[in-house]
Structure 1
Amino acid sequence: MDAALLCYSFTVGKSGSGLWWHKVQGQLNEETFLSYDSNNNCHVIGVLGNKLNATKICEKHSDTLKDGVDLLRDEARLCCWHEVDGHFNEFWDFGLNGHKMLHVDTSTGEWTEVDPGSSWMKEMWEKNRDVTAFLKMTSQGDCRAWLQEVKSHWEEMLESTGLQQGLVLWDKGKKEEDSRGSRMESPGVMEEGTE
């Protein structure tokens, strides 16, 4: 199997009434399989979601996702993957109003300002030890474990449907484009109570 890219998009904001809301979506190779919202509702969705044990996967993800939205209070995206040679990679991207501002390579600890006006955000996050510890722990620990679990279900699904042959699961050109500062993908969050 080619490299599998696991990402979690965090969006946190305030409603018109001043209440905080959040939405997190988990994706494997850009296919959404998990949704977690302000009411602490966790759902598995899509083709991959149908292969996962909803209770088990949500129990494993919920605490970490809740910690993430409590700490981050912005737009953020965690991604991790194994290269074909087995090397593990991970990163966090931070955004504001749908634009990527910062890229963090947690394996090296390097913070890159993607947007020229993002130095304030970089300084704020770099100085926050709780945030930097969370970023490293989730990208190198949680994301790695989640990737293994979700990827195994994805591979089973592909084998059972015969789709694995000739399927390109991840375009490295897309990854490189994303790391250069393209617009962040918004998970389509609606304010609480507007569904």
Structure 2
Amino acid sequence: MAKAAATWGNLSLIQRLFLLLNCLECLLPTDAASLCYSFTVGKSESGPWRYNVQGQLNKETFLSYDSNNNCHAYGVLGNKLNATKICEKQVDTLKDGVDLFKQQVVKMKEENKTIRDPLILQAMMCCWHGVDGKFNGSWDFDLNGHKMFHVDSITGQWTEVNPGWMKEMWEKNMDVAAFLKMTSNGDCRSWLEEIKSHWEEKLESTASPTVAPDVEKEPSSMAIKPNISALLMILPYSILLWF
């Protein structure tokens, strides 16, 4: 204990402040959020196409679009966000993605006779703001559980994860390239902002000007106010600063 106190005492005031700020940054919640859409498209040789799209906010599913062209709210988060109305704005884009990926699966099978049924393609689109506020977007593709390639939506760079999955065929398809860029950089970005604003408005509408509301605990990644426990953990370090 004495050794630790001596070590702290040898630090300059600037160093102490730097350490305290680092602790505070680690404990306080951030405003970052990630929005992802998982497209799953499958078909057996004689069976019909089956597909499903799930929307996820910070890895929690809130929206589902299925083979019957039904888009609906999913889970507790979906009800909180009123995902049914969100579906109305997104369903056309989700359907376009399903149709485009079905076409690519057919082309892959025509080009590579070694690919056998059943075929299950999964495409994962994600967009988020980094800690520096910079917008990011990406796509990841799997076929029958095998990772194919990763696409950076900002730079447009395609990275082949496992060779032999006809990356060139996908990359050179102008319709695919345009859809991936437009959807992740445009649609996903606007959807993310809309969902975040809807979430914040819902929190504000539950507040009472006279009585402290019993609000459900919000996701840490969406929280924007410091909590009391974090400040209490910082307080002892602040006291030590003056010794």
Return the alpha-carbon distance in structure 1 between the equivalents of residues 99 and 58 of structure 2: 26
Return the alpha-carbon distance in structure 1 between the equivalents of residues 179 and 162 of structure 2: 23
Q: Who is 1:24 aligned against?
A: 53
Return the alpha-carbon distance in structure 1 between the equivalents of residues 217 and 123 of structure 2: 32
Deviations 1:50-108 (A, max 9, x none): 12334421111100000000001231000000113221000011111123210000110
Q: Who is 1:140 aligned against?
A: 185
Q: Which has the higher contact order (CA 8 A, sep 6+)?
A: 1
Q: Normalization by structure 2: what TM-score?
A: 0.63
Return the alpha-carbon distance in structure 2 between the equivalents of residues 49 and 41 of structure 1: 15
> Could you tell me which amino acid in structure 1 is paired with residue 151 of structure 2?
V
RMSD: 2.1
What's the CA shift for 1:124?
Answer: 1.3
Return the alpha-carbon distance in structure 1 between the equivalents of residues 131 and 48 of structure 2: 44
- Which secondary structure does the structure 2 equivalent of 1:147 belong to? helix
Q: Who is 2:31 aligned against?
A: 2
Q: Normalization by structure 1: what TM-score?
A: 0.77
**Equivalent of residue 60 in structure 1, options 89, 101, 119:** 89
- Max radius of gyration: which structure? 2
Q: Who is 1:189 aligned against?
A: none
Higher strand share: 1
> Could you tell me which amino acid in structure 1 is paired with residue 186 of structure 2?
G
1:47 aligns with 2:53: no
Higher helix share: 2
Q: Who is 1:163 aligned against?
A: 217
What's the CA shift for 1:9?
Answer: 0.3
- Percent identical among aligned pairs is 72
Q: Who is 2:105 aligned against?
A: none
**Equivalent of residue 42 in structure 2, options 5, 9, 13:** 13
| Kept in 2: contact 1:51–1:153 (CA 8 A) | no
Return the alpha-carbon distance in structure 1 between the equivalents of residues 217 and 202 of structure 2: 8
Q: Who is 1:176 aligned against?
A: none
Q: Who is 2:158 aligned against?
A: 111
Gaps in structure 2 of 5+ consecutive residues: 1-29, 103-120, 207-214, 223-243
Aligned positions, number: 166
1:80 aligns with 2:127: yes
Moved more, 45-54 or 77-86: 45-54
What's the CA shift for 1:110?
Answer: 0.3
Q: Who is 1:173 aligned against?
A: none
> Could you tell me which amino acid in structure 1 is paired with residue 149 of structure 2?
L
| Kept in 2: contact 1:93–1:104 (CA 8 A) | yes
Deviations 1:99-121 (A, max 9, x none): 32100001101000111333x1x
Gaps in structure 1 of 5+ consecutive residues: 170-195
> Could you tell me which amino acid in structure 2 is paired with residue 80 of structure 1?
C
- Which secondary structure does the structure 1 equivalent of 2:164 belong to? coil
What's the CA shift for 1:3?
Answer: 1.5
Deviations 1:159-195 (A, max 9, x none): 7635348x357xxxxxxxxxxxxxxxxxxxxxxxxxx
Deviations 1:116-172 (A, max 9, x none): 333x1x11111111111000000000000111112234445677635348x357xxx
> Could you tell me which amino acid in structure 2 is paired with residue 42 of structure 1?
C
- Which secondary structure does the structure 2 equivalent of 1:149 belong to? helix
- Which secondary structure does the structure 2 equivalent of 1:68 belong to? helix
From the superposition, tell whether residues 116 and 42 of structure 1 become closer, same or farther in structure 2 (CA, over 3 Å).
same
Return the alpha-carbon distance in structure 2 between the equivalents of residues 151 and 18 of structure 1: 40
